[in-house]
Amino acid sequence: MTPLALGGTTYSWLHQASLYEAIDHLAAAGLRQIELTSASPHLQAGSFGKYERHELRRFLAARDLSVTSTNPGFLDINLISPGDTFRRASLEALLAELELAHDLEAPLVIVMPGRRHALSPAPDEACRWWLDQAMEILVERASRLGVTLALETNPYGYLGDARQLSELVDHIGSPHVGIAYDVANTINQEDPWDGVHTAGQRIRIAHMSDTWRDRWAHTSPGRGDVDFERYAEALRDIGFDGVTVFELIDMEPPLPRLHEDLATFRKWGWSPEVRGAVPGGVGRAVVG
């Protein structure tokens, strides 16, 4: 069984512990690759200075941790907001996110294409025009910085599944744009096996957590309806050699559950000891 690289996220401790405490907990759990959630109260890319970034890199290195990706959480960011002010602010936030990823030597920035209002959604044509304008600017900056934008599958009803994101990635046609496949975000839209195979080699990073088909969640394995064994098989089947980030985000204390959850994922072949490949890297994931 081909091993799969397993990473964690500081998001698990948002509003529960400081960023540095979260990092210490992830390192103590044996993880070596982490996704950094750049949202308050931990940090925000636009106000996290150069010195703070330097100190954070030192803190991570001392714990043998590397940042796979940064993720602003998308609590407020919306690239297809009908409001010009909010779209501009969202674009500026993601441009700052790219700079943060570069400074932390993170190869990926997670991006949500946007969300429409459930009761009065903007027309598809307008949403796509707004998104295309934003992506043109973001891709240019990402290319210059050597960072890849990973468009995430999402439950918000706009370009949320593998087929739609694959078409968008192919339309953009840049090596600095790929997909972040999140099984908990798509289980109610598509069979994850089909979604992973549709996205295929476009997947740059994977996310996983358990959820229910009738209630969206990011919780511990075994609580919900996700078939993690089949998800692992699908990732292996397409030759995925990147990192799968366990996104435990349910506002319950992550410890001591994290250790138990990681042990559960080991049964299906995920391992914190495996270093996942990064965009632009060479070869498959290696142990060590």
SS in 3 state form for 209-228? CEEECCEEEEECCCCCCCCH
Q: Are 207 and 182 in contact (CB under 8 A)?
A: yes
Q: Residue 137 phi/psi, 5° resolution?
A: -70, -45
Rounded-to-integer distance, Cα 86 and Cα 255, Å:
36
Q: Tens of pLDDT along the chain (288 residues)? A: 889 999 999 999 999 999 999 999 999 999 999 999 999 999 999 999 999 999 999 999 999 999 999 999 998 999 999 999 999 999 999 999 999 999 999 999 999 999 999 899 999 999 999 999 999 999 999 999 999 999 999 998 799 999 999 999 999 999 999 999 999 999 999 999 999 999 999 999 999 999 999 999 999 999 999 999 999 999 999 999 999 999 999 999 999 999 999 999 999 999 999 999 877 543 334 334
Global confidence as pTM: 0.95
Whole-Å CA distances, 40 to 1, 76, 279: 39, 11, 28
Instruction: Tell me how far apart the 2 most distant CA atoms of the chain are, in Å.
Output: 51
What residue has token string 């294409």?
113
What CATH topology corresponds to 4-287?
TIM Barrel (3.20.20)
